Homo-oligomer: A and B are copies of this chain.
């Protein structure tokens, strides 16, 4: 049930982008440094994100990355699916990456039934949380003692 570093790093950097007011391109080096991520690894991650349209890039000196659309329209779930592949805990319930499993009868498989509910509950969170939501929730922390 683990989130890969790819997704974790990707989300951290994207949320960092989302927290900015202007949409000027930000250098990868800066994103990496601020979030304590190996630069070359983040580079790979951002190429993938760019190919999916999550960010767009500006090459050359003074270049960098910016979000491809407003942060409130980029869902955490979408980022994870792009970077990690499917969300489904077992491949036999995935819509985008279905693969049959080895259980005797998929239609009555009780593990499949439970995992279906697990998947739904995960999706309910990550597909309803945008980068903007995520960026907002660490700033105005709920009151504390």
Question: Which residues from chain A sit less than 8 Å from chain B, CB to CB?
Answer: 1-3, 8, 11-12, 15, 34-37, 76, 80, 84, 86-90, 101-104, 108-111, 113-115, 117-118, 121-122, 124-126, 129, 134-135, 137-138, 141
Contacts and interface: CB of A to CB of B under 8 A. Distances in A.
B1 A3 contact: yes
Given A1-B2, A1-B3, A88-B1, A113 B125 contact: no
Contacts of A3: 1, 89-90, 111, 115
Given A1-B1, A103-B12, A134-B113, A118 B108 contact: no
Contacts of A37: 102
* Assembly stoichiometry (copies): 2
Contacts of A15: 110-111
B137 A110 contact: yes
Most B C-beta atoms less than 10 A away, residue of A1, A2, A104: A1
Top 5 nearest A-B pairs by Cβ distance? A121-B121, A3-B89, A108-B138, A110-B134, A110-B138
B134 A125 contact: no
A110 B126 contact: no
A35 to B, nearest CB: 6
A145 B81 CA distance: 33
19 contacts: A1-B1, A1-B84, A3-B90, A3-B111, A3-B115, A11-B110, A11-B114, A12-B103, A34-B104, A35-B103, A36-B104, A110-B134, A114-B134, A117-B125, A117-B129, A118-B122, A121-B121, A121-B124, A121-B125
